[in-house]
Amino acid sequence: MKRPRVRDDLALHPGYHSPQVEVDVRLNTNEAPEPPPEGFREALAAELAGVEWHRYPDRAATELREAIAAHHGVQASQVFVANGSNEVLQTLCLTYGGPGRSVATFEPTYALHSHIPKITNTAVVSGERTEDFALDMDEVRRVLTEHDPTITFLCSPNNPTGMVETEETVRAVADLAPGLVVVDEAYGQFAPWSALELVDETSPIVVTRTYSKTWSMAAARLGYLIGPTWLVEELSEVVLPYHLDAVKQIAGRVALDFEPQMRRRVSDLVEERGRVTAALSQLPVTVWPSGANFILFRPDAVDGDTVWQRLVERSVLVRNCASWPRLDGCLRITLGTPGEDDRFLDALTDILETS
């Protein structure tokens, strides 16, 4: 059999994986701890009865985009929807990246912000954050002036550090950026402010959001972007025709009817974040303040890999960032239910006391 070789530029890159292990307490992928609210399944099932299965879905996803627009107080023409915010990021790179162009990231940040450009044959130029993971404006200026990227990725709250960028910082980056500034707000609802208020027809700022976290819908693969109308039109020309299936379009719209429940869950998780942060602060670990539904920490005296392994032995799975560049020894815990978080805190306390 004549087997084609993978594209040369791709063959050099490892894929992106989050190892799944069979455990009781799964706190490693920043999902919501609970399924969608009571009534969601029934409401969705009732609407699905009307799907015309032999027809292609609405290519423009009109009703879903109108519902998202109403939710955020913007126009439907400013909303682009896709299969997860990862596909939104990929469509941005396909549209504005490509050979001879570059994307800027400031590390450490979400791994897909450099992985997606690479698979779309876009160069990645990476700047460094300060020791405490903040953006360093001199470094931002250097990277943007030296490399002239068509897209600059920010992530607020930043994954995996949890740090929220201030409005002043986002505005300053937008002033310096030669192209788009994409603010990835996958965890935006957990933060005290949103860059959504900076989006308008003349600004280079676009904001991406997801249904995977707050809306308890990681299984559906649905994300979106709010940006200027011209950009939404350009992205729509690039994404595959009928990329968003009818079921997903309905699910995303129905979910928004449960906004009050979603808001209550977000405020419960924010309270839980305070409780878990306070508990971690009592242990021999360094904890970074988080504006998201996860917390980054580093055990002071035991190495991160060992702690991760011992947590798994106690049936608790967290994200092991210990060997990631710039995150030496760090682990990231997604907030779960109070019971799950207690299982984690008890296991961690036990490990640190006995190591």
To ligand PMP, the closest distance from the beta carbon of 330 in angstroms equals: 15
Smallest distance, ligand PMP to C-beta of residue 140, A: 19
Q: Closer to ligand PMP at the Cβ: 191 or 351?
A: 191
Cα 107 to Cα 305: distance, rounded to the nearest angstrom: 21
Name the minimum Å distance from CB 59 to ligand PMP: 21
Cα gap 206→343, rounded to integer Å: 39
CB of 251 to ligand PMP, least distance (A): 13
Nearer to ligand PMP, 210 or 290 (CB): 210
Q: Closest by alpha carbon to 214, among 257, 269, 161, 289?
A: 269
Smallest separation (angstroms) from ligand PMP to the CB of 36 = 15
Largest CA distance in the chain: 62
Q: What share of the chain is helix, strand, coil (3-state, %, to 5)?
A: 45, 15, 40
C-alpha to C-alpha distance for 93 and 61, rounded to whole angstroms: 21
Considering beta carbons, is residue 122 or 208 the nearer one to ligand PMP?
A: 208
Q: Please identify, using beta-carbon distances, which residue of 102 and 210 lies nearer to ligand PMP.
A: 210
Q: Answer whether the bond into residue 108 is a cis peptide, omega within 30°.
A: yes
Please give the Cα distance from 330 to 302 (Å, whole number): 11
| Count of all residues that appear for the chain in the document | 355
Q: Are 138 and 108 in contact (CB under 8 A)?
A: no
Closer to ligand PMP at the Cβ: 321 or 345? 321
Nearest distance from C-beta of residue 232 to ligand PMP, angstroms? 17
Helices (H), 15-102: 40-48, 62-72, 85-96
Do residues 121 and 96 lie in contact, with contact meaning Cβ atoms separated by under 8 Å? Answer: no
**Other Cβ atoms closer than 10 A to 35:** 11
Of 189 and 210, nearer to ligand PMP (C-beta) is 210
CB closer to ligand PMP, 159 vs 216: 159
Give CA separation, 183 vs 4, 85, 89, 106, in Å. 37, 12, 10, 12
Residue facing ligand PMP at closest CB distance: 84
Please say which residue, 186 or 206, places its beta carbon nearer to ligand PMP.
186
Least separation in angstroms between CB 110 and ligand PMP? 4
Query: Which positions lie near ligand PMP, rule CB under 6 A?
Result: 30, 84-86, 110, 155, 159, 184, 186, 210, 212, 218, 223
CB of 191 to ligand PMP, least distance (A): 12
